[in-house]
Amino acid sequence: MRWLARGVLCALVAALCLLGPRPVMGEEVVETADDGTVRVRYEVDEQGRKHGSFVRYHSNGQVALRAQYAEDKRNGLERTWTEAGILRWAHTYKRGILHGAHKTYDAKGQLTLQQTYRGGKLHGAYKSFHPNRRLRVVTAYRDGKLHGKFTERTVDGSVRLRATYREGLKHGTYEVLEGKTRISKQRWERGIPLDVDGIQPFPRAPQVLRDTLSGILKSDGALPSDELAADRALALRQLKAYRFLAGVPYADIELDSSLNALAQAGSEICAALKRITHEPPNPGWPAERYAPAARGAQGSNLHQGHRACTSVRGYMDDSDPRNIKSVGHRCWCVNPAMKKTGFGHKDGFTAMWGTDESRAPVPDYEFVATPPPGFVPGPWYGERWAWSAALNPKHFDVPVATKVRVRVEPVGDDFLPAGPEPLPLEAVSVLKDSIAVPYLVIWRPRGISFAPGRRYRVTLEGLTRDGKPKPVRYYVEFFDHAYERPRLPRRG
């Protein structure tokens, strides 16, 4: 047996000789403070690169960091401690890049975050914890993006949020709870909200709005050579654009020669009187001239100091102290029953025939809002504009002013209120005999921001149908799309 053991030992020695000499190891580097205490100790290879163990110390001698290096790059487990010796971080690296388990601990050494990296990106299971050690978030990542189920719990262990993500985007059900009560249930597809508590928040995409507005404003291309005719053509395009945004029929709105004549007569009598009025006295005109002028002034939106083409935005604004309680000019502009119109202009006095209701049939609708639900090109509206919702009598009972309540709330990416209180409102009116659409609610929110991405939830409570509650709720999100003031072409 001794002979056999001696033979095995000889064989091992011979094998080692065949492998050649072991490589020469690098030196250990020690860095000290002024008082001589060791602050850093690490190994280097023959080229002076960190290679092997690396240790940093606190001033009290306690290990602050322990890591592994390979060719000057962190490689392997790295841990960090406080001066009291409490572990705070534990990371894993591969050739200088986070790769593997990553853990974070609080000041007491309790685990607060557990995640996994691959190639420097979050990849794999992810868990975070409340201070009482209960789970806070459980989810997963793929290539740095949320991917899979997402569950968030409160400190007492109750589920607050359940969702699903795909490649960093909400995809599937998104559910928010408060205790055992579900406060929001949403459905998303690749980051696009399809349904928020039974509401389609964005009926039209921003690019669709941009493209359609561009098409409307370009219309048939060249404008008529006659200045008044060109003014009317531009005004019609403006009217169509705002009607499109409001979600009411717009493409077939047309200028009618007889209505142009009435609007022109209304403009001329206002110019003669040097003021706008829907009930103009006769300035001494013959009856055959005064009669159509009086009718034109009575049936038209009137404006002073503008061309016809620039007056439409003024009618849509309609928020001066005199008009904000009824926004009647706006109501005529976006009346779903409108089919024809006419415009007139004389010496800075303009008229737009607004009382046409010849569309047949009128498409069904629940309400017409300004600004409209969904994505809204902010520059097309104004911070001082009143907001309004005209309610279709086929879908609502007569509104009772003392019962109707309006709320405008900033909301976040999850469509839930982003602040403790709704925005303050002013100029609130509830009408049951408005023009065009008789039931009308008006309000002006203070503190509205038209910055792109700002999102608001509008709620009208106290409305009913057949005596049963029928609240209105919709979302408005502003995006950037310039409003260009229409201009008549210069004539040579």
Hunting for tokens 């050494």 — which residue is that? Answer: 109
Q: What is the pLDDT of residue 479?
A: 97
Of 168, 196, 224, the residue that ends a domain is 196
Per-residue confidence at 23, pLDDT binned at 50, 70, 90?
very low
The answer for residues whose C-beta is within 8 angstroms of residue 3's C-beta and 6 or more apart is none
Positive or negative torsion for Cα 397, 401, 404, 408: positive
Q: What is the mean pLDDT of residues 137-154?
A: 97
Q: Is the pLDDT of residue 124 over 60?
A: yes
In this prediction, residue 221 carries a pLDDT of 73
DSSP per-residue codes, 236-277 = HHHHHHHHHHHTS--TT-EE-HHHHHHHHHHHHHHHHHTS--
Look at residue 8 and tell me if it is in a domain. Answer: no
5 within domain boundaries: no
| 492 band by pLDDT with thresholds 50, 70 and 90 | low
Residue 31: C-alpha distances to residues 56, 58, 65, 78, 367 (Å): 9, 13, 14, 19, 76
Does residue 491 belong to any structural domain of this protein?
no
pLDDT tens readout for residues 275-302: 999 999 999 999 999 999 999 999 999 9
Domain assignment of residue 134, given as a range = 24-196
Task: Say whether both 192 and 212 belong to one domain.
Answer: no
CB-CB neighbours of 212 under 10 Å: 17
- DSSP H/E element including 473: strand 472-479
Q: Which two structure tokens, joined as six digits, stand for 3?
A: 């002979």
Q: What is the CATH number of the domain that holds 258?
A: 3.40.33.10
Q: Give the CATH number for residue 441.
A: 2.60.40.1220
Nearest CA among 357, 349, 365 for reference residue 435: 357
Whether 488 maps to a domain, the answer reads: no
pLDDT in tens, 391-444: 999 999 999 999 999 999 999 999 999 988 999 999 999 999 999 999 999 999
Say whether both 51 and 179 belong to one domain.
Answer: yes
**Residue that terminates a domain, selected from 296, 319, 353:** 353
Same domain, yes or no: 57 and 131: yes
237-263: average pLDDT: 98
pLDDT 10s digits, 310-340: 999 999 999 999 999 999 999 999 999 999 9
pLDDT digits (tens, 9 = 90+) for 36-49: 899 999 999 999 99
pLDDT digits (tens, 9 = 90+) for 93-113: 999 999 999 999 999 999 999
Cis peptide before 361 (omega within 30 of 0): yes
13, pLDDT greater than 90:
no
Kindly tell me if the per-residue pLDDT of 12 is higher than 80: no
- Structural domain contains residue 116: yes
pLDDT at 14 over 80: no
Are 145 and 33 within one domain?
Answer: yes
Do 45 and 160 lie in one domain? The reply is: yes
The more confidently predicted of residues 296 and 14 is 296
* 170 in the same domain as 44: yes
CA distance 179 to 378: 37
| 456 and 322 part of one domain | no
Q: Could you tell me if residue 297 is inside a domain?
A: yes
180-239: pLDDT as tens digits: 899 999 999 999 999 999 999 999 999 999 999 999 999 767 889 899 999 999 999 999
The type of residue at 119 is: G
Burial class of residue 58 (count of CB atoms within 10 Å of its CB; 0-12, 13-18, 19+): middle
Query: What's the structural domain count of the chain?
Result: 3
Taking alpha carbons only, the member of 141, 175, 139, 138 closest to residue 160 is: 175
Q: Are residues 261 and 378 in the same domain?
A: no
Domain boundary among 310, 328, 353: 353
The pLDDT value recorded for residue 481 is 96
**226/375 same-domain check:** no
Domain assignment of residue 213, yes or no: yes
Looking at the structure, tell me whether residues 167 and 252 fall in a common domain: no
Q: Which residue has the higher pLDDT, 170 or 7?
A: 170
**Phi, psi torsion values for 266, nearest 5 degrees:** -65, -40
| 240, pLDDT greater than 80 | yes
Same domain, 181 and 278: no
> What is the per-residue pLDDT across 352-370, written as a single tens digit (0 to 9) for each?
999 999 999 999 999 999 9
In the predicted model, what is the mean pLDDT of residues 118-135? Answer: 96
pLDDT number for residue 366: 97
Q: What's the pTM?
A: 0.84
Give pLDDT, residue 491. 64
CA nearest to 230, candidates 492, 456, 487 = 487
Q: Is residue 452 part of a domain?
A: yes
CB atoms within 10 A of CB 84: 10
- The answer to whether residues 240 and 317 belong to one domain is yes
